Amino acid sequence: MLIASLRGRLFVGLTVFTIGTALIAGYMAFRWAFDEAIELQDATLLQVGSLVAKSYLHIELPSEGNVDGAPKLLIEELKEPTPGDQRDSSHSSLPSDLRDGLQTTTWRGQQWRILVRTRDDGSRVAICQPTSNRDEVAQDSALRAIIPLGILIPCLMFLIAIVVDRSLRPLLMLANTLDTKQSDHLEKLSVEGIPTEIVPFVASINRLLDRLGTMFDKQRRFIASAAHELRTPLAVLIVQADNLERTSLSEDGHSRLQALKTGIRRSAHLLEQLLALAKYDSVASNDSLPTEFGRVVKGVVADLLPMARDKSIDLGFVRAETVSVCVEPVELAVLTRNLIDNALRHTPKGGHVDVSLFSEDGLAVLQIDDTGPGIPNADLDRLLEPFVRGNLPQGEGSGLGLSIVRNIVERCNGSISFNSALRSESSGLQVRVSIPMK
């Protein structure tokens, strides 16, 4: 099965390589330590044999207390068998024809490592060790040699996991930066702290962002130019429609004229919103002088009161604190007008729109609550997209108001959130804009 994660591939690959290398190294270390222990025991036999060759002994030397698992030694004088020698087979003497030197043979039903020496007088002696004891000592010695390697492997795997995670962390940070970047904010990615192997990839992304920025700039210029060019003919149409209204028309003619004027007003409103979108759809503006936010909001509310009265909507303040922000008054006015205008268009006759302005945790908060039909939670994330009109498919709305609000809020390093109530006992939409106070 192919592992999709690069982190997983690196970890599995390094794990397989490390464990494979460790197994080979462990096996070689075990064999080396085992052979060394056997050679050491053979050297011990040779040393004991040198001593025994100078004396006459016939004795079994047990390992006292089995210190470190040391095997017992048996010293046996080799004699030619006599016809009257009838010893038990379990205690039979070693064959007298054993060659001098180290050798392994079967005696008394088990394997023995035997050293045979011939003295100057021609007598022969054998120093014997059971191979089972020797192998046990050698295995214990070899296992002790590879125990540190067995402990090192899990620690090494843990360190490999940490190194892989730390090495790939810049990629995760880069991905998070791209995910949090606004679609119309195309600042280049920083290469600071990025590994050199990833720098060409980041450079390619930056070049792509440059091309996207150029495309967006062309799009904004086209929208602004087209909207500006269309304002004059629409103004002429409005004048001609007003003049036509003064003439004598039938009832059906007046009805058709009102539909024409509604369409012209909607087109004019759309052009104004497109111009505003092109103007505020750019990078953050330079710091401005402090502006009293409350005075701007009160002015906008006063301008929209006639529209609220025409629809029998109660428009007013719930809270109106004095707060100042470093944003151009025109931008604040456009932001506030679009939010309240949107609430008035969605609120049915007899409803109310509540405006609140207050400070909270160093932020100036403008909150608009209406009693409209509300918006499904699935549609809340799309409200800030251009030409998205929520659940109001008819009317004179252009679907650009909240997009303009979003661009202004982002230019001010602020935030905007929505909370829709769609319960049986209440409904409506709450829009909350937060701008840093300076």
pLDDT tens, residue by residue, 191-220: 777 777 778 888 888 888 888 878 877 877
Residue ending a domain, choose from 115, 134, 152: 152
- What per-residue confidence (pLDDT) applies to 407? 80
Total number of domains constituting the chain: 3
- What per-residue confidence (pLDDT) applies to 357? 93
Domain annotation covers residue 278: yes
Percent of the chain's residues with pLDDT above 90:
9
- Residue 422: partners with Cβ closer than 8 Å, 6 or more residues away: 374, 375, 376, 377
- Residue among 137, 99, 144 at smallest CA distance from 118: 99
Pair (329, 427) in one structural domain? yes
pLDDT band at 318 (very low <50, low <70, confident <90, very high): very high
Per residue in 107-128, pLDDT (tens digit) is 878 888 888 888 888 888 888 8
Mean pLDDT computed over 130-149: 85
Given a cut of 60, whether residue 12 has pLDDT beyond it is yes
pLDDT band at 183 (very low <50, low <70, confident <90, very high): low
**C-alpha to C-alpha distance for 376 and 391, rounded to whole angstroms:** 9
Pair (269, 302) in one structural domain? no
Q: Where is pLDDT greater, at 377 or 126? A: 126
Pair (296, 326) in one structural domain? yes
Pair (260, 297) in one structural domain? no
Least confident of 16-30, 104-118, 158-172: 158-172
- Residue 432's domain is classified under what CATH number? 3.30.565.10
- What per-residue confidence (pLDDT) applies to 388? 54
- What per-residue confidence (pLDDT) applies to 66? 45
Percent of the chain's residues with pLDDT above 70:
77
Domain annotation covers residue 174: no
Pair (144, 222) in one structural domain? no
Q: Do residues 128 and 76 touch, judged by C-beta distance below 8 A? A: yes
Pair (53, 141) in one structural domain? yes
- What per-residue confidence (pLDDT) applies to 394? 45
Mean pLDDT computed over 120-143: 84
What is the average pLDDT score of the chain? Answer: 78
Given a cut of 70, whether residue 277 has pLDDT beyond it is no
Domain annotation covers residue 160: no
Pair (16, 134) in one structural domain? yes
- What per-residue confidence (pLDDT) applies to 288? 65
- What per-residue confidence (pLDDT) applies to 315? 93
Mean pLDDT computed over 308-325: 91
Mean pLDDT computed over 165-182: 75
**Phi and psi for 101 in degrees, rounded to 5?**
105, -175
Domain annotation covers residue 89: no
- Residue 239's domain is classified under what CATH number? 1.10.287.130
Domain annotation covers residue 405: yes
Given a cut of 50, whether residue 79 has pLDDT beyond it is yes
Given a cut of 70, whether residue 185 has pLDDT beyond it is no
- What per-residue confidence (pLDDT) applies to 365? 93
Q: Where is pLDDT greater, at 434 or 327? A: 434
Domain annotation covers residue 162: no
pLDDT band at 253 (very low <50, low <70, confident <90, very high): confident
Q: Do residues 154 and 146 touch, judged by C-beta distance below 8 A? A: no
Q: Do residues 287 and 326 touch, judged by C-beta distance below 8 A? A: yes
Pair (241, 344) in one structural domain? no
Pair (202, 98) in one structural domain? no
Strands (E), 276-396: 291-292, 314-320, 324-325, 352-360, 363-370
- What per-residue confidence (pLDDT) applies to 393? 46
- What per-residue confidence (pLDDT) applies to 1? 47
pLDDT band at 420 (very low <50, low <70, confident <90, very high): confident
Structural domain for 136, as ranges: 6-77+94-152
Instruction: Please give the C-alpha separations between residue 41 and each of 70, 98, 431, in angstroms, as whole numbers.
Output: 9, 20, 88
Q: Where is pLDDT greater, at 171 or 327? A: 327
Residue ending a domain, choose from 283, 306, 338: 283
Residue ending a domain, choose from 251, 283, 315: 283
- What per-residue confidence (pLDDT) applies to 330? 79
Pair (203, 136) in one structural domain? no
Instruction: Please give the C-alpha separations between residue 13 and each of 18, 19, 26, 27, 278, in angstroms, as whole numbers.
Output: 8, 10, 20, 21, 52
- Residue among 280, 284, 283, 296 at smallest CA distance from 403: 280
Q: Do residues 422 and 415 touch, judged by C-beta distance below 8 A? A: no
Per residue in 322-366, pLDDT (tens digit) is 899 988 887 888 888 889 988 898 888 889 999 999 999 889 999
Pair (18, 144) in one structural domain? yes
Q: Which residues pair with 317 in a beta bridge?
A: 355
Domain annotation covers residue 210: yes
Least confident of 33-47, 174-188, 275-289: 275-289
Pair (307, 430) in one structural domain? yes
Domain annotation covers residue 312: yes
Q: Where is pLDDT greater, at 58 or 51? A: 51
Q: Which residues pair with 434 in a beta bridge?
A: 365, 415
